[in-house]
Chain A
Amino acid sequence: KQEVTQIPAALSVPEGENLVLNCSFTDSAIYNLQWFRQDPGKGLTSLLLIQSSQREQTSGRLNASLDKSSGRSTLYIAASQPGDSATYLCAVTQAGTALIFGKGTTLSVSS
């Protein structure tokens, strides 16, 4: 059974710092991996999707990498801002379209 783990569970950084969030999964047979952002009381917003054949995706200050063979992904956030404060979720898709989520990393960026 696929398990998705995210570390750290929480992270606090000062504004301007570059940071890395980690995600690992136990079964490398995935179709894709997605990173989501969740704000308190709100839904999930898709940030980046990496197909299983890809190594990385970039969007603005965000860069996500995927190493399928080792079951790992990282989300790199450059020059963090207070508005980046949120919970970041990693999720994989396997046999169908169902997303399997990690528990998330709660990021706090202080000004």
Chain B
Amino acid sequence: EPEVTQTPSHQVTQMGQEVILRCVPISNHLYFYWYRQILGQKVEFLVSFYNNEISEKSEIFDDQFSVERPDGSNFTLKIRSTKLEDSAMYFCASSDGEKIAKNIQYFGAGTRLSVL
């Protein structure tokens, strides 16, 4: 069964460093998403991406964050200068672009980011 894959599973970085989290969405999907979950808190939407541009973003997704689809298979989230509060589980998701009412998003297993 097709699945969303994320690498690495755990990333440790020093405060102020840049990190890139990588995702391979399901191959025929058209919409891509990033969410994060701080330990003990809700899963929060960061950004959605369609047709090579951002379609929606939340207040969390500020200038420190960027997304890119560098080739036909990968989807990346970059955090330019990490802060302690960026420590969280980051989930990538994709969907096939079915109309919104039927839009099922498929999630990867997540990357745990630890900022020291």
Within 8 Å of chain A (Cβ to Cβ): is B35?
A: yes
What count of chain A residues pass the 8 Å CB interface test? 27
Residues of B whose CB lies within 8 Å of any CB of A are 4, 31, 33, 35, 41-45, 48, 55-56, 58, 91, 93, 95, 100-110
Are A49 and B104 in contact, with the CB atoms below 8 A?
yes
Are B55 and A101 in contact, with the CB atoms below 8 A?
no
Give the CA-CA distance A44 to B95 in the complex, in Å: 13
Are A42 and B109 in contact, with the CB atoms below 8 A?
yes
Are A98 and B100 in contact, with the CB atoms below 8 A?
no
Give the CA-CA distance A42 to B31 in the complex, in Å: 21
Interface of A is mostly: strand
Residues of A whose CB lies within 8 Å of any CB of B are 4, 31-32, 34, 36, 41-46, 49, 51-53, 89, 91, 93, 96-104
- For B95, what are the chain A residues with a Cβ–Cβ distance below 8 Å? 97
Are B35 and A99 in contact, with the CB atoms below 8 A?
yes
